[in-house]
Amino acid sequence: MRLLRFLIAIACLAAGAIVGALNRAPVVIDLGFSRLPTNVGVSLLVALLLGVVIGGLAISASVVLPMRRRLARAQRQGATTAPTSGS
């Protein structure tokens, strides 16, 4: 499993390097308060990375956190209603 993760990481790094190398046209990103001169490949990779991070946070906030709360509530209820074993 560790080898598979390593190979996937290397493949993603290689794909990013290829995208960055093939898209070398200069662009200027205007953020309103600042201007960032960069190339198309870098801006594309940063946009993809931000999309993944924001999507992961959205999934975490909408799915994972409510499930953790339900699990904690179920464990608390299970602990209070569990019969005590004793003689």
Tens-digit pLDDT string for the chain (87 aa):
899 999 999 999 999 999 989 999 999 999 999 999 999 999 999 999 999 999 999 999 999 999 999 999 999 998 887 666 655
Distance of CA 35 to the CA centre of its chain: 26
Which pTM was predicted?
Answer: 0.73
What are phi and psi for residue 44, nearest 5 degrees? Answer: -65, -45
Domain layout of the chain by residue ranges: 18-77
Separation of alpha carbons 87 and 84, rounded Å? 10
